[in-house]
Chain A
Amino acid sequence: MHRMKWLLISLAALVFMSAGAEKLTFVLDVTENRSDEGQAIVAQLQAIGIDASLRVWQSTVLRDEMLAGNRSASTSDWGSAYFDPFDLAIPKLRTKDRGNYSFYSNPAVDEAFRIASTSIDDATRSEAYLTAQRQIFADAPLVFSYVLQNIEAASDNVRGWEPAADNSENFARASVIGSDTLVIGMRVDAIVTLDPAMYRDRDTEAVLRNIFDALTIPTAQGQVQPHLATAWRVVDPLTYEFDLRSGVTFSNGEVLDADDVVFTFERILTEGAIDGATSPRAGLLGPIDHVEKVDATTVRFVYKETFPQELVLQALTHFQIVPKDYLSEVGVAAFTAKPIGSGPFAYARGALDSQVVLEANPTHWNGAPELKSVVWQMMPEASTRIAALLAGEVHVIQAVPPDLVERIASVPGVGVHTALGTRSYQIELNNAAAPFNDTRVRQALNYAIDWDSILKNIYRGYADRLSTVFLPSGFGYAQDLAPYPYDPAKAKELLRQAGYETN
């Protein structure tokens, strides 16, 4: 009888306890390209007593769901075109900004971001970014994850080329032993256009950057160098002045001067300037007011608000200068069908969804390229690109999936080449709703996932851990901030503090 009573009491206690502390339960929503990773994560979370399950989505649909606040944990990725957190960390983590799928809001971080995107002093900007990173790290609004490397492959006969962090392909100094033509297998099924005002994707830009020149040019690692602009200075906090290289001509002989530069930017900044359509590129220039000509070889960029010089210089690498006279004379349609630029190569022929053929521009101001022609072959399937490289049909291929690297590495005569990536991958957590409105729970998830094992096994080591969503290749990166370590004990401890049962 006595025993029975104790049994009943302990049973009641058990029922009471399990009613009081439940497991952390949520669905991890992943995009289709990350389902393997998602499975590994869910298994790791389950091992410490988190009741996580997996669901796979098409990325566009998932983004809409996230923005509507319908999801609690979802994978996402965001790329940077600036080598600066300006277009990565800021849109992702500033209160109510465009990429803030986690609904994170911290006034201190917002203030740091404001300083970093408006100050014209590099030290101040850098300091603001460091402050923001430490605060974001502590708040753990997301599960900080990794940056994938940009993996490309090439024949050993290719010289003077390396993959770039931003997926651009610069063939101005490239050559191929035994061939005067270089063929590159592109990762996309089509580029968008040949009009430098009407695209937003990197693949179109990769082709256009070989046909046109910009005022500045990035190195493969993202450092800005002079190009059509030879020097620049700050006139006043809202105005930057650029000296243009003299003696530059377009491939039709037209001289490139300040009029062409002003024309190029007016097309982009004026609504409806491209036969009634508006360029989708204006946003890349920041809070610009207008571009004006000072004299034939000097232009000024005038801003509405202060905008850091480094960001202006980075932005300018993305704007290809077009010939005003030729374009005005033939019209947009004819120009898009047969563009004329001042770049190392000139457009010869092709179709945007199959192959684009460029021929060397022998009169390029920086010297004629060694190659006679470059062929951009659209090959959307990775296995086909690799087959074409192995068959000797192409010399360079983009986007080798990590699990197919082995196939290339084992064949003599071809090699894998990598560059730093510029895209942060993470898991968004809905900070505005339970269970992830509790910092301890978000931190717990950051401790609970063994990223090193995932990066090694799924991405074959071609990925690097991130401490936040700031990239090591970007400005103001906190070198000393180590990523959350894999610490399941700590994760369980934090979950218990937050009132959840663990294993």
Chain B
Amino acid sequence: MADTITKPEVKKAEPWFGKKERQLISDPLNDNNPITVQVLGICSALAVTTLVYPSLVMAVAVIFVLVFSNLITSLLRTYIPNQVRMIVQLIIIATLVTVVELTLKAYSYDVYKKLSVFIGLIITNCIIMGRLEAFAMSNKPWKATLDGLGNGLGYGAILIAVALVRELFGKGTLMAGSGAEMKIIGASPDYMINTLESTLFGWYQPNNLMVLPAAALFIIGIFIWIHRSWNPKLVDIS
């Protein structure tokens, strides 16, 4: 008799990493990307993407905050009083952001100096509040964690892609300021594509427009355009 009772329980248990769970990660990368589809978190995407390295740090910081705020909110979801749930979410986010800020200050001071304002602004990043309200408040901790990871990755991927374009064409370098700086295009003898001898990109003058915030706006615009023509599901039928 005991067997017949336990069997259905085993069937009921949800798989750790089934189709639904995979979708939680893959959806924000494509069909439901926070930046190109939901158009959230644009402020930081415009501000920090002048260089790849700070964008990378920003992406890691946002992923950290998003994963743990989703997890903590989901764990507390039955205890959080409905009247003050927004404030409670904000406290959780602000705490995690402060932890990130202190960690950078103690272990990577240069990056902290470069990103200080924007790290603080993670608190107001709509992606995080949006995920807590829309997902973590009504789902189990493991799913909420995956959702945070997926959205963080979706945000980070666009951030780094924008930064790659802006730094390459704006400065001719990649990863400047990280200690692994690569000089790629432009007219200088120590650039990777040697422009004094070859004529491949010798004419290229770093374009200062790409460093300005306006460039991020139209690069993100172009990304949205590419994303929509590649994924017709996203195009409004109306």
Task: Answer yes or no: do A and B interact.
Answer: no
B contacts, CB < 8 Å to A: none
